Structure 1
């Protein structure tokens, strides 16, 4: 076969594969780290997936996937996740207490904290989406000896797509495998999209119903990590984004997660906007503690540079020190 024919054959096969497996392309793209490659993959895969799904061209692949016992990204159900099903339950009262705290007779107070030392340091887990990629290691590297932090970053994840990545299941694994005493959470950068309810209803991003469901899902996740207040959960608010559209979503997410933290013993919302903005407005540059003007945001107007991560880590470590009083 000539090189020209081989090239045409390979191109045709790749094109056919893209059409028949567009949902897998979307799934793979959503799990990529932020960047040009992810943007290009999703720019092609999402419109293609809508077309193939409408024309039922994806049905043979989904049937074969199920027949061979493999997970089907396109056919995953939101209600298969505790994040969605448990979120449909009634919320605890907005007095900082849930059922676990009341059963313990603690009056809603979280478990009394010990005093960490260099010999027995505080076990901190920094986790979330790509927003933790630079923040987590910075907290680890700048924390005092009495605080030992590790990072678990899951790119392209969030609360609105448990069919793509189930944070409820993962949080339970983190608790059982890592046994943290404090969990620092930063996520939401990928959540500016509609939420599909277990009954198939789609809640438009930014709507009141969407914000209420986002709050309920945050409560479910905070409950898993806090375990009735036996662990502390520090949920970091999203700093302003350069994009006005994205920033409006971030504002609603911050409102939702702040309200969620008020309903879970041991949970606390940390607002990073005073640290990473100018009067609540987006900025690329800020003055650091040394008086230098530093670039704090990357090109996408969402993620933090290393200097930005250092500025964000300071209030987080200050809160940890204020709560735990490490020696």
Structure 2
């Protein structure tokens, strides 16, 4: 009795499982060795029918979508991406530092070259440079009766090279001419009569050669002082021609500057024997020969040159010591 009841219970459970999910039962039973080919075919058909039903459900959902309501491609906001450059910290711009002004080496050594007229002038230049600018390193190199005409008497070319090389001046002040109005022998060995065109050409060659020596030297600045007005007619005729030659030769180099003194003692084309200096003091400016300066005249020409050097920033007044 009990066995029969158990069999009924088991049968009921099996039937319940079969009818509750027949497709699952057939697929499971078709995998067992007891399933017949018909049962396996039935299980396969059930699997296909299930797939078709899922496919139909998918396309039904696709048909229900309103594609007109979807945003267009142009309406989709772009996705912002940070570039590597943006992620890197920006380097601050370099500040431009102003260039430092170049320091100018002071002019401390002064050389005065020329004939005996330069000796009178050089004494006054030395005194003023020492008293007003505290410059004591100066040198006068002169030769009586010399000039650029008679190089055979005194070779200023060789002498100037030597004294510049030995003394190493910053500034050179030149004054020649009082002894040059005489016949000249040019570089070709030909004698030329005073103040002729040939003489002027030969003397110009002498002056230009000397200017080139100064220009190519280590000297930083050259002042070529012209002849002042004399009191003798012969020199009155020669000196203006010679001054023009000095002035033109000075243009060959930016370091050479011509200083005219002709009008300092002149009035109406003649020498004024008594002239006032910067302080108003009056005195004779030339000796009896009309060429050499008195100490008063030398002081006036010296002040003219000193003022020019101060204007060119060659000279700077020393600072006063505070008490």
TM category (shorter chain) comes to 0.5 to 0.7
Q: 2:156 aligns with which of 161, 167, 173?
A: 167
Conserved? CA contact 1:122–1:181, under 8 Å: yes
Residue of structure 2 in register with 1:264 after alignment: 253
Which blocks of at least 5 consecutive residues in structure 1 are unaligned? 1-111
Conserved? CA contact 2:226–2:260, under 8 Å: yes
**SS at the partner of 1:274?**
helix
**SS at the partner of 1:141?**
helix
Q: 2:166 aligns with which of 157, 177, 181?
A: 177
What RMSD, in angstroms, separates the aligned Cα atoms of the two structures? 2.0
Q: 1:132 aligns with which of 114, 118, 124?
A: 118
TM-score (norm 2): 0.61
Residue of structure 2 in register with 1:285 after alignment: 274
In 2: Cα distance, 1:211 partner to 1:114 partner: 40
**SS at the partner of 1:152?**
strand
1:231/1:223 Cα in 2 relative to 1: closer, same or farther (>3 Å)?
Answer: farther
Residue of structure 2 in register with 1:305 after alignment: 294
How is 1:179-258 mapped onto 2 (pairs within 5 angstroms)? 179-227=168-216, 230-258=219-247
Shift of 1:299: 0.8
In 2: Cα distance, 1:147 partner to 1:227 partner: 26
1:115/1:280 Cα in 2 relative to 1: closer, same or farther (>3 Å)?
Answer: farther
Which blocks of at least 5 consecutive residues in structure 2 are unaligned? 1-101, 319-323
Conserved? CA contact 1:212–1:256, under 8 Å: no
Quick one: higher RCO (CA 8 Å, sep 6+), 1 or 2?
Answer: 1
Residue of structure 2 in register with 1:114 after alignment: 104
